[in-house]
Amino acid sequence: MFLTKSLKSPFYQVVYEVNGKRTTKSTKTNNQEKAKRFMAEFEQSISIPTTINSVLTLNQFKNEYINYMKAACSNKYMKQIDYTFLKFGMYIGNLDLAQIHLHSIDNFIMSIFSKTPYLAHLHYRILKAAFSKAVDWNYITVNPFKKIKFPRIPKTIPVFITQNEFNIIIAYTNDKVLRDLFKVAFNTGMRLAELVNMRLNWIDFHNRLIKIKCDSHFSTKSKKERIIPMNNNVFDILMNTDLIINLDDYIFRKVPGVKLNNDYVSKNFKKCVRAAGLDDKIHFHTLRHSFASVLIRKGVSLYIIKELLGHEDLSTTQVYSHLQQQNLMSAVKLL
């Protein structure tokens, strides 16, 4: 319930819902304080009914929730939602939403946490958000996932590599397409999915910019487009790729019109890492972490790095703040 004002009336209107349908009632005053008092009295005088659908099953809700989320989430995250519901359904069965109790949820989360804490946390976050939406839709009265106190997961510092280590890694591939892709990843911080989907029409050579676009073929993790400036290394690589006539064709491809497979790229990068005898914790996503770490060490602010990496929240970027602290300590030592 809230107050609003429109061009149709000089008076404040009380907006509220009845059985999921939004309706209004005039306060018959254009004074905000009087309108607030009217709304408080009106709220006490009525009982707004709600309809709880207690016969909706977990699978029915899953299908409705997935259809709702498609417009806001990437294909990768939609697969994670689907997998989470699948595992949860396999554990508790296709119960009515109102029959899913805290004890069963607790057991499900802890059974996974004992093996893979990070996967358990992902399942917890997805289901907690989904059941909050079930409350909004009046399928249940309370979200049982909000009553669970999830165990702490130790935060680990991302693995990153230096320019010298990167040079050693790429020396172990003779594939020019992969080598160029690795170099662009190290110099832009782009995600693997963004790199394999990068098309010629993303590239603005005149202004030296890469415009990561969302369209019917691809969308970023956040569903938001962003711009990444090209340094000289990236500019030279993209200027010297094989001739591409079609603006919609992929930059990195073996066959025109056919994009590279994510697993193919990541597995080949891992082969190079192992051939170089470097830490086995280094994987393709390490290139993204390395891009951020290089910028941090050169004094670039976390906010700018957040924009370059396409993080929605600064808290995600703050995983690199330990490097910033090292820079601050080095600066103080100069005094």
Averaged pLDDT, 226-249: 88
The model's pLDDT over 50-102, given as tens digits with 9 standing for 90+, comes to: 445 557 899 999 999 998 887 777 778 889 999 999 999 999 999 999 888 88
Cα separation, 180 vs 196, in Å, equals 12
**Where in the sequence numbering do the catalytic residues fall?**
191, 221, 285, 288, 311, 320
Helix and strand numbers (H, E) in the chain are 14, 6
Sheet containing strand 21-26, strands side by side = 2-4, 13-18, 21-26
Question: Which segments within 185-334 are labelled E, that is strand?
Answer: 203-204, 209-212, 226-229
Chain CA centroid to CA 179, Å: 27
Count the neighbouring beta carbons within 10 Å of the beta carbon of residue 41: 9
Q: Strand, helix or coil at 278?
A: coil
SS3 content of the chain, % helix, strand, coil (to 5): 50, 10, 40
Q: Which residues of 273-310 are buried (b: 16+ CB within 10 A; e: fewer)?
A: beebebeeebebebbbbbbbbbbbbeeeebeebbebbb
Q: Between residues 47 and 300, which one has the greater pLDDT?
A: 300
CB-based contact 136:53 (threshold 8 Å) = no
Dmax (CA) for the chain in angstroms is: 78
Asked whether the CA dihedral 180, 185, 188, 190 is positive or negative, the reply is positive
pLDDT greater than 80 at residue 315: no
Entry pTM: 0.64
pLDDT greater than 50 at residue 148: yes
When pLDDT is cut at 50, 70 and 90, the band that residue 219 belongs to is: confident
